[in-house]
Amino acid sequence: MLVLVVLILLMGLGVGWSIGANDAANSLGTAVGSKVLTLRQAIVLIVIFGFLGACLQGAHVTKTIGKGIVPLDQLEKQASLYVALVASFAACAWVIIATHWKMPISTSHSIVGAVAGAGLAIGAPVKWKVLFDIFACWIFTPIGAAILGYIFFRILQNIFYRFLSRRFIKSLVFFLVIASGCYVAYTWGANDVANSVGIISGVGVLSPRMSVAFGGFAIVFGIMTWGHKVIETVGSEITRLLPIMALSAQLASAVNVHLYTIFGIPVSTSHSIVGAICGVALVRGMRVLNFRIMKDMVLCWMATPFISGVISYLVLQIIKMFIKI
């Protein structure tokens, strides 16, 4: 039993590390790229706000992943531990495979699919309605962010260029880019921490409060060890959004993710930021979007929950052949 608990914690740590390493750049990467912040300042802000988000509001989504899809707390202790371990393993495995194949997948999608797959394999009552609601929200995440991005950019463009004196625009936009980036980091921590510790909390290995703190530390560990490299690359070499565009996209993405977080829905913060950037970019017309690339991205998004679900289902079936659960 202790071995299972340790393995579950290690898997949670791994998922948290991966989130911190990969997705930290989504919040303040643009601010680093546009020289509003130095890399060090950005990392400090992401760590603070990501951790705050995880600790203050991470419990909503954690509850959904831990108990909302498969009621892990109502299963037998040993069965629930195996479900937790296999689901974490499947999500982790798919994230590693996708990383190797350079596919842009979502950890949220991966963990939700894996929990459902493990639940099915063990014969637990999977809550299909909740799953359906989550799937619907996944479709609306980028769309909603794009609509918000488009609206925010239109409004901010008018406010900044029509009503404000040019002298103040630069400093105000810089301040707002940082503030909205911190908001993105906060909502990212609040929504994504559940991917690493939702299951841990669900099976009762750690209390909800302890588990979000544990997840927050795992994410911070990811940012410190690898995330800074990604922030630097993404910030300095890829994003070329004007500060006002970055502000609109960040604000749209953060508001979007925050709404889902309040309702306890695990969504992809990456999908949200991409949707928001698309919405902002659409102001310049459809030609800025490369639909071939978009198609690849959407395919990865759609395939992830099914693949992690199948991995999880198969692994648990194999375990059941050797161990009576």
Partner 1 sequence: MKEVRNILGWLGMAEEQSILEDAKKHVEETYKTVVFFAEAVKYFISGDAGAKTASIEKVRQSEHQADILRSKMIDQLSEGMLLPPDREDLMHFVKTLDKIADWTNGAARLLGFIEEEIPESVSKNIVTGTELIINSVSKLRESIVALTRNDLKNAIFLSAEIDELEHQADDQKKAMIESIIRAKLEPVNLLLTYQLAEYLEGVTDKIEDCADFIKVLAIKSK
Residues that bind partner 1 (CB under 8 A): 18, 21-23, 25-26, 29, 98-99, 102-104, 226, 229-230, 233-234, 237-240, 270-271, 273-274, 277-278, 281, 287-290, 292-293, 296-297
CB of 97 vs partner 1, minimal distance in Å: 11
Q: Which lies closer to partner 1 via its Cβ, residue 127 or residue 271?
A: 271
Q: Which lies closer to partner 1 via its Cβ, residue 49 or residue 82?
A: 49
Q: Which lies closer to partner 1 via its Cβ, residue 93 or residue 118?
A: 93
Q: Which lies closer to partner 1 via its Cβ, residue 21 or residue 244?
A: 21
Q: Which lies closer to partner 1 via its Cβ, residue 103 or residue 224?
A: 103
CB of 111 vs partner 1, minimal distance in Å: 15
CB of 76 vs partner 1, minimal distance in Å: 36
CB of 74 vs partner 1, minimal distance in Å: 35
Q: Which lies closer to partner 1 via its Cβ, residue 93 or residue 278?
A: 278
HEC readout, the chain: CHHHHHHHHHHHHHHHHHHHHHHCHHHHHHHHHCCCCCHHHHHHHHHHHHHHHHHHHHHHHHHHHHHHCCCHHHCCHHHHHHHHHHHHHHHHHHHHHHHHCCCCCCHHHHHHHHHHHHHHHHCCCCCHHHHHHHHHHHHHHHHHHHHHHHHHHHHHHHHHHHHCCHHHHHHHHHHHHHHHHHHHHHHHHHHHHHHHHHHHHHCCCCCHHHHHHHHHHHHHHHHHHHHHHHHHHHHHHHCCCCHHHHHHHHHHHHHHHHHHHHCCCCCCHHHHHHHHHHHHHHHHCHHHCCHHHHHHHHHHHHHHHHHHHHHHHHHHHHHHHHCCC
CB of 94 vs partner 1, minimal distance in Å: 12
CB of 25 vs partner 1, minimal distance in Å: 5
